[in-house]
Structure 1
Amino acid sequence: MSTIANAGEGSHFAGSREELCAEAARRTGLDDFGKPDFHEGLDRLLDELDGAGLSSQGAIATRESILGHLTGRLRSIDGFKRHADAMLRPVVRPLIVTGIVRSGTTALHKLLSMDPQFQGAEHWLCAAPQPRPPRSAWADNPDFRQSKSILDAMIAQAPEFLDDHGMAVDTVEESLNLLAQRFCCNMFPSQFVVPNYDRWYRTQDDTPSYRHFADNLRLIGANDPDRRWLLKNPTDTLSLREVLAVFPDAMVVQTHRDPLQSIPSVVNLIGAAHRMFCGENADVARVYAREEEFWELALRRADEVKADHPGQVFDVQFTDFVRDQIGFVQRIYDHFSLDLSVEAEDAMREWLAANPRRSTTMQRFTPEDFGGSSGVLKERYAAYRGRYGY
């Protein structure tokens, strides 16, 4: 019997890499995973998952999630070989949105994606990387239908992801979903309590992950190679040096929000993922402690890198975005000498009208709601809050 197939009777993830890879190969009919540099991260993750407090259903969902990244990797490597010419094309001057989670990155990303000068990686193409077909053909694409079914099931279990993250199968998704193919990624320590993996991840050079990610962009954009890329990933703040090593001409927008508001909101959102995987075993106090420490490190690293790249990162405030979204976008375009066409502005205004800001997203949480301390949070972020006027 499979060591982890019967997850409800006690899963055993440790040592299961070969089994999982074999299952991913069976599902796709492919067997080339490319460079084995993803083995270490996957092994480290699997070694800790048995002690991560997963519920029976959470273990099943975790296994499927890992298999999803493995099948996605197989699809990517196959696509890289099939579209070798596309792999030679540069990713020119992408616009990248980053910043601490819950500082407006998702809404800004979705809003900017209304501009037809940009292309992004839609959710379903992150799950099944391939040259983007015409949108009119998506509904009949088996990969699109499967991705929609999986996402619908996840949202049914954790509707917070739809309310707070705006997830939809046919809209742009953040880079984390493609970066996870290398299993050296913040997705995993943010979803699971895996402290050893987390410590290892923070010491890694992310350059190989972003190179693999760039190849995925070339693959997805193979049919539209000249259109500028629009990307978004809050964790790019931690790895900004590697981001700029792989995309040296990138235009980076970093959003900022007072950590006294953003950190509790981050924990409220990520806590939903922990409850999905761990049920009543979810330890939100541990989630809070990890996120409070992680984002201070990420923001500090970003500021260190920005000092060496003056003007390449445009710092903007969440409160300014809330007050005037179109004016906020115009400031970004002016900074990077981009053209905001009438067509793009009209599409953005239509999106804003169809997606009004939900009052629930303005709900205020405090560190004390999650077992933390406002005083400790203020002290940890004192330097950051001083730099950005909080």
Structure 2
Amino acid sequence: MTMGKKLLHTTNQYAKPYRPLPIALFNRAGRVAEKLGVLADIDVEQLITNARRKSGLNEFGDEWFREPLTVLVESINREANLTPTGKLIQKTRLEGALIARLRAEQLLQKHPEIHDIDLGKIIIIAGLQRTGTTTLHRLLAADPNMRALMSWEALNPIPLPKEPLGNPKRRIAKAKTAEKGLAYLAPEFFAIHPVEHDAPEEDVLLLDLCFMSQSPEATLHVPTYAAWLEQQDHTPAYTYLRTLLKILSWQRPAKNWVLKTPHHMEYLDVILQVFPEASIVQTHRDPQKTTGSFCSMVSHGRGVFSDEVDAREVARHWMRKVNRLMQRSINVREQCEQKRFIDVSYYDLVSDPISQVARIYEFAGIPFDQSAAEAAESTSKRNVQNRYGKHIYDLEDFGLTQDAIEHQYAFYRRRYGIPYEN
């Protein structure tokens, strides 16, 4: 990926997001169009009509997704304060999700045997943000016998029309373009969370096809949608996720799967039902080190789509949300078999990553052979910290203090014996 001059470090200008000149000019023209009524709000029925027209398909199967889509769109229109560029990107993403659902339904009707595919053993990394989950995910996914969702698959999980099975070069090309687009819009974001077209990606992006994921609240100001989402039964979304994994396995088979997203911490009870073969890994790190980092990541992410980013509101929302993730995951673990869970310390992962990978394989009942060890070792050497620039942030930008963080998360530190990080 080319981003021009190397970025030395991120900035903390959350309320004034970076805008390339062409994008700034487009937004200025778009605001005029909005005032004139030319650039309309996102409309659910128009999205569905466009998806059917562009795909040439009509059948979604069960259309239960309409309710979450409607709640999300209404929240975006009322609360997100999108720039014209942000609105265009969100329309494209939502429309793309609907097209993917149409193509998935067509594929399943043509190949019903997909439903019978065995996913093998499944390792699910369900740790909090900034606790080493990305590093661990990439170490596990390096194994030739381990299947992970790749970034290009997350953007287009279903084969494109006339795409030969096993030859997804058009989808990979689209992902390369998307990677370059994000680097152009927000070069600082790569210093916080690299988004590379050929690297493993979070499967929360597959849950986006159900319009039931934390992605919107991590990238947009959509409090109404976020509150609504917490009250819903997520079983249909996870059931659809399982179907999508089978579709991906049908395209590129592997013996086992590794999944990863903090979103899973909120719904471990559903995961245990829908994925009875899963082994769940929870990573842990000092909340004093993770909280500001994650708030900075969310603030930078929101700045891609909106000119109105309130860093302190981001912190208020996610302090409560992370507390909810902690509480709900602990509650589930206290009520079920502990043999389904393994804990990994961020500090052990940093000091000896290969031994932690071996621990997880043993826990999941998967042989840790020579090829898996060599693949993990090679990946560990490639993951150079700060290769896109250094991520810097200040708790004061978010109205946070160390005492406030400790007060909010002390129960989590005690529960898992998490040390203070110097």
The alignment's TM-score, normalised by the length of structure 1, stands at 0.91
- How much has 1:178 moved relative to structure 2? 0.6
Question: 1:283 corresponds to which residue?
Answer: 310
- How much has 1:334 moved relative to structure 2? 2.6
1:144 aligns with 2:184: no
The answer (yes or no) to whether the contact 2:315–2:398 under 8 Å persists in 1 is: yes
1:29 aligns with 2:43: no
1:367 aligns with 2:395: yes
The answer (yes or no) to whether the contact 1:72–1:127 under 8 Å persists in 2 is: no
The separation in 1 between residues aligned to 2:394 and 2:145, in whole angstroms, is: 40
1:116 counterpart SS class: coil
1:189 counterpart SS class: helix
Instruction: Decide which of 299, 302, 315 is 1:271's aligned counterpart.
Output: 299
Distance 1:131 1:214, change over 3 A: farther
Question: 2:46 corresponds to which residue?
Answer: 19
The answer (yes or no) to whether the contact 1:191–1:270 under 8 Å persists in 2 is: yes
Q: CA RMSD in A?
A: 2.3
Gaps of 5+ in 2: 1-28
The separation in 2 between residues aligned to 1:28 and 1:7, in whole angstroms, is: 27
Aligned residues: 381
The separation in 2 between residues aligned to 1:47 and 1:99, in whole angstroms, is: 30
Distance 1:145 1:156, change over 3 A: same
Instruction: Decide which of 62, 66, 72 is 2:90's aligned counterpart.
Output: 62
* 1:126-175 alpha-carbon deviations (Å, 9 max, x no partner): 2222369999834xx32322232123212221234433333222222111
**Mean Cα displacement is larger for which, 341-350 or 158-167?**
158-167
The separation in 1 between residues aligned to 2:287 and 2:364, in whole angstroms, is: 27
Distance 1:161 1:82, change over 3 A: farther
- How much has 1:194 moved relative to structure 2? 1.2
Counterparts in 2 of 1:306-321, with a 5 A limit?
306-307=333-334, 308-321=336-349
* 1:326-345 alpha-carbon deviations (Å, 9 max, x no partner): 12212212323322211121
The separation in 2 between residues aligned to 1:225 and 1:114, in whole angstroms, is: 15
1:159 aligns with 2:173: no
Instruction: Decide which of 142, 157, 169 is 1:129's aligned counterpart.
Output: 157
The answer (yes or no) to whether the contact 2:311–2:397 under 8 Å persists in 1 is: no
Distance 1:12 1:382, change over 3 A: farther
Counterparts in 2 of 1:234-245, with a 5 A limit?
234-245=262-273
Question: 1:333 corresponds to which residue?
Answer: 361
Counterparts in 2 of 1:1-390, with a 5 A limit?
8=31, 9-10=33-34, 12-13=40-41, 16-50=43-77, 51-130=79-158, 137-138=167-168, 141-223=169-251, 225=253, 227-279=255-307, 281-307=308-334, 308-358=336-386, 365-390=393-418
Higher relative contact order (CA 8 A, sep 6+): 2
The separation in 1 between residues aligned to 2:301 and 2:100, in whole angstroms, is: 21
The answer (yes or no) to whether the contact 2:125–2:137 under 8 Å persists in 1 is: yes
Gaps of 5+ in 1: 1-5
Distance 1:155 1:327, change over 3 A: same
Distance 1:168 1:83, change over 3 A: farther
* 1:182-222 alpha-carbon deviations (Å, 9 max, x no partner): 11111112211111111110111111101001000111111
Return the letter of the residue paired with 2:376.
M
The answer (yes or no) to whether the contact 1:253–1:316 under 8 Å persists in 2 is: yes
- How much has 1:223 moved relative to structure 2? 4.4
- How much has 1:359 moved relative to structure 2? 7.7
The separation in 2 between residues aligned to 1:46 and 1:82, in whole angstroms, is: 31
- How much has 1:102 moved relative to structure 2? 0.7
The separation in 2 between residues aligned to 1:148 and 1:329, in whole angstroms, is: 29
1:230 counterpart SS class: strand
* 1:256-302 alpha-carbon deviations (Å, 9 max, x no partner): 112111111111111111000013x1112111111111011011111
